[in-house]
């Protein structure tokens, strides 16, 4: 509950900062994209940059999570194999070494 409230408050703070930034910077900026130039408002340029960074971070996190899931799957498989081996060894009869 606290985490959800903190996320909502953080979202509202970021939204307020964006609104203030938009009001204070109504000008235009020219962006050179190497294959052409685009003229955009400053707040739109910052918003697009922010969203692209957020999406990149989300992609990196998803890749990291996928690797963790894969590693966890492999570890569980190894654990099952080890448990089967231990169970098999426990059920073997004890042979005297005379």
66-89 pLDDT, tens digit per residue, is 999 999 999 999 999 999 999 998
State the pLDDT confidence band at 44, using cuts at 50, 70 and 90: confident
Helix (H, G, I), strand (E, B) or coil at 30: strand
pLDDT of residue 92: 82
Give the separation between CA 84 and CA 89, rounded to whole angstroms. 9
Instruction: Read off the pTM.
Output: 0.61
Decide if pLDDT at 97 tops 70. no
State the pLDDT confidence band at 61, using cuts at 50, 70 and 90: very high
Give the separation between CA 59 and CA 63, rounded to whole angstroms. 6
Q: What is the mean pLDDT of the chain?
A: 90
CA angle 89, 95, 97 (to 5 degrees): 125
- Decide: 42 and 27 in contact? Cβ < 8 Å: yes
Decide if pLDDT at 96 tops 80. no
Mean pLDDT of 5-31: 89
The residue whose two tokens read 């400053």 is: 42
Q: What is the DSSP letter of 23?
A: H
Tell me the residue length of the chain. Answer: 98
């Amino acid at each position: 509950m606290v985490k959800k409230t903190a996320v909502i408050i953080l979202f509202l703070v970021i939204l307020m900062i964006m609104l203030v930034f938009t009001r204070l910077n109504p000008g235009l900026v020219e962006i050179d994209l190497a294959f052409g130039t685009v003229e955009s408002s400053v707040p739109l340029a910052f918003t697009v940059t922010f969203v692209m960074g957020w999406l990149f971070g989300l992609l990196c996190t998803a890749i990291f999570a996928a690797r963790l899931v894969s590693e966890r799957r492999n570890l569980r498989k190894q654990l099952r194999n080890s448990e089967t081996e231990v169970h098999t060894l426990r059920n073997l009869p004890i042979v005297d070494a005379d």
